Chain A
Amino acid sequence: MKNSVKKDFNFILGIVLTAIVVVPAIIGIFWTPYGIDTMNNSLKMAGCSLAHPFGCDNFGRDILSRVMAGSAITLLIGLGTVAIGAVAGTVIGAVTGYYGGLADDIFMRFNDVMFSFPSLLLALVFVAVLGSGRTQLTVALGIAFIPSYVRIVRAEYVRARNMDYVKSAKLAGASDIRVMFVHILPNTSKVMMGSLLIGFNNAVLAEAGLSFLGIGVQPPDASLGRMLSDAQTYLFGKPGLAIVPGVTLIVMVLGISLLGKSDTITRIR
């Protein structure tokens, strides 16, 4: 086992890339070198320096501090989204997949309808109803991501419900709830692990996309998408404003994708 981790190139690179972003982000929740919305007129559009390694933006705010806090917000929104989507998706998928029948048909057709909308568009609709803001955005994205989890989980349950171990558990008198969540659920972890990480990535990108459109995180709060959106005005004059959060986003997503693909993660039970 130990040996195989060492050989698992995807895993190692994934961990390293993820850590590069996640560690500063976690620090960013508690501490940043400067206040994320502290303005300083003399530092407007300042270049890189020892005091401000990534320079300052159009309000003279330190970009490093904003990227640290911004990645934290982006990560939290990603986590929240995956939590909502995966929990609700698992419950719905488990019930419909396990029992089957008419309810399953109705649920799945409804799911197909939801699926036919791009999830970003769906999230847009929810944001329009719920209003913009960090919490609303998380809820909106979470709901929009439910259908994809429902489909994955349901497929696993349909496969598992006629397996011998499920039958014997039933014969032993286990309740349906117990069978569903104690016996079958752990067996779906292999599929779930990968899709959780991919889902997390999608959520991070969706947050960036929605904030980029101006309906996600509200200024002056920072998130990677918000920063990219603000940087757009200065794309020709000061590309650094867009490059720093952009590269952070790429590294974060790449790292997590590699983790999702790695053998070590998919082998976890």
Chain B
Amino acid sequence: MKRSMILLTSLLVLLLAVALCGCAGDKSGNGSTITVGIPQDIEDSLDPHLAVAAGTREVLFNIYEGLVKPNSNGELVPALASEYSVDAEGKTYTFTLRKGVKFHDGEPVTVQDVVASIERCADTSNGEPLVAAFSNIAGIEAADDSTVVITLKEADTEFISYMTTAILEAKYIADPTSDPVGTGPYMFVSRSPQENIVLKSFKDYWGEKAYIENVTFKIISNPDTIVMNLEGGSIDMFPRVTTAQAAQLSDKFNIEEGTMNLVQALYLNNAVKPFDDVRVRQALCYAIDPQEIMDYAFDGIGSEIGSSMFPSFGKYFMPELNDVYNQDIDKAKGLLAEAGYPDGFEFTIKVPSNYTQHVDTAQVLKEEFKKIGVTADIELIEWNSWLSDVYSGREYEATVIGVDASSLTPSALLSRFQSEAGNNFVNFNSAEYDAAYAAAVASTDDAKQTEYFKQCEEILAKEAANVYIQDPAELVAISNKYTGYEFYPLYAQDISKIRIADK
């Protein structure tokens, strides 16, 4: 009798404690947690200057900041610099450091840190600088304790957008991955490979502090388990669910709708046969219908694109390029015959298996290519193999992937197609393009520059560098316990804006 009473009382106390814990977390944001599912590990690097994968950058967005950073409208706002000015020529940029900004380890941000970070990215001792545009830097110096002056060799009106480059602490600069210390609203706690990345809110953040204290990015590499993970409660949010997945979620989840800000395309290795022939590439473009792909794999939503540019870019986006190729089977067959493939040919599309939307797209493409007598074999590969074989090694014929922009300047999407660019993974090679791109970067007049960038887009479309498809719609599934999710016109997940919903 007595024993059971004790048992009962302790149980009640335990229950009460659990209930109280729950309440405390909701009010202040202290102790609150969110687990965000992501499709891949941030395997390529914790070093913000070396990371290439869009999926890595969207996580690092919360940890690192540059002198300026984009806001949710895509405008660049001062971050570590409280203000900046450009001289009339467009050659000298002067930044004033914000006062009292601290790194996650408590050290103040100094001009030395800024200079060291920029210099690291501009370093040409290993060939290409880490940030290609930094090859234009003539000099960088700390004018005083709070002012940094960057002078350029040639005027570049786009330059400010590269100042989103993460500022690291000078003493960690040799290897930032051992101690990933940044200045963002969240600080790095730990990472378990293939499992998760844990972040904690940074109490001394200079701007609006993050609301939710503990953030875990959990890697869900099998897309088929996303719905189960969400419903089972092991993740609270997953950016980029498919329409089919969204339809299955219960009303415990809200679906936010935006765009992914990706150039989804069938990327062709322009250096291998038969894709070294422009007629073959054009034939593939004539064979497909982006709307059909959206209908099958995306429930009909998405924005068609015709070049390496997506609608968030506003004036740079050219909707007229969507109609350079409209599905025309006869024309496609004619072009193939002209190129010497009257009976079609066979090629392999390598697709990263962790992206359902790309795998589904590849399946529809295969069907569409059948109509022009071209056989496409699909090979699913793991994300890390994709990065090493396809992206870095360029050992592939074709791949379906989405390419993001690291900043909201057209060069973020277009610079990679210069013949000699280090990240030109499609091996696109056109002297005309190189000239147009160089002219764009060099021009100080905004209207002229826009014109040159548009010329670049046109060349990509006409030369059929890739089979452009769409900027997919982004559906974010987030538990209704949270609110405040914001879309960026870039590939970013800003967790600091998310709050616990009022009950």
Q: A residues bordering B, Cβ < 8 Å?
A: 37-39, 41, 44, 58-60, 131-133, 213-215, 218-220, 229-230, 232-237
Residue pair A237, B244 in contact (C-beta under 8 Å): yes
B side interface size, CB within 8 A = 30
Main secondary structure of the interface of A (DSSP, over half): loop
Residue pair B379, A59 in contact (C-beta under 8 Å): no
Which 5 pairs of residues, A with B, have the shortest CB-CB distance? Answer: A232-B224, A236-B248, A237-B248, A220-B363, A214-B353
Q: Does B435 contact A (CB under 8 A)?
A: no
Residue pair A41, B296 in contact (C-beta under 8 Å): yes
The residue that B296 contacts in the complex, of A59, A131, A219, with Cβ under 8 A, is A59
Residue pair B296, A232 in contact (C-beta under 8 Å): no
**Distance, CA A212 to CA B159, complexed state (A):** 48
Residues of B within 8 A of A59 (CB): 296, 360, 363-364
Residue pair A133, B363 in contact (C-beta under 8 Å): no
Residues of A within 8 A of B292 (CB): 41
**Distance, CA A234 to CA B248, complexed state (A):** 7
Main secondary structure of the interface of B (DSSP, over half): helix
The residue that A37 contacts in the complex, of B247, B248, B366, with Cβ under 8 A, is B366
Q: Which of B224, B378, B381 has the most CB of A within 10 A?
A: B224
Give me 12 other A-B pairs in contact (C-beta within 8 A), A41-B295, A234-B244, A235-B227 excluded: A39-B296, A58-B296, A59-B360, A59-B363, A218-B378, A218-B380, A220-B378, A232-B224, A233-B227, A233-B242, A236-B248, A237-B247
The residue that B379 contacts in the complex, of A38, A41, A132, A233, with Cβ under 8 A, is A132
Return the chain A residue nearest B364 by Cβ: A39
Shortest B177–chain A CB gap in Å is 26
**Distance, CA A59 to CA B292, complexed state (A):** 11
Residue pair B244, A233 in contact (C-beta under 8 Å): yes
**Distance, CA A75 to CA B226, complexed state (A):** 30
Shortest B274–chain A CB gap in Å is 22
17 pairs of residues in contact across A and B, judged by CB atoms under 8 Å: A37-B363, A37-B366, A39-B364, A41-B295, A44-B296, A58-B296, A59-B363, A132-B379, A215-B380, A232-B224, A233-B223, A233-B244, A234-B244, A236-B227, A237-B244, A237-B247, A237-B248
Residue pair A219, B224 in contact (C-beta under 8 Å): no
Q: Which of B292, B295, B363 has the most CB of A within 10 A?
A: B363
Q: Which of A58, A60, A131 has the most CB of B within 10 A?
A: A58
The residue that A39 contacts in the complex, of B231, B245, B367, B377, with Cβ under 8 A, is B367
Shortest B238–chain A CB gap in Å is 13
Residue pair B363, A219 in contact (C-beta under 8 Å): yes
Residues of A within 8 A of B245 (CB): 233
Residue pair B378, A219 in contact (C-beta under 8 Å): yes
Interface residues of B in 234-274 (CB under 8 A from A): 242, 244-245, 247-248
**Distance, CA A41 to CA B245, complexed state (A):** 18
Residue pair B247, A220 in contact (C-beta under 8 Å): no
**Distance, CA A132 to CA B363, complexed state (A):** 17
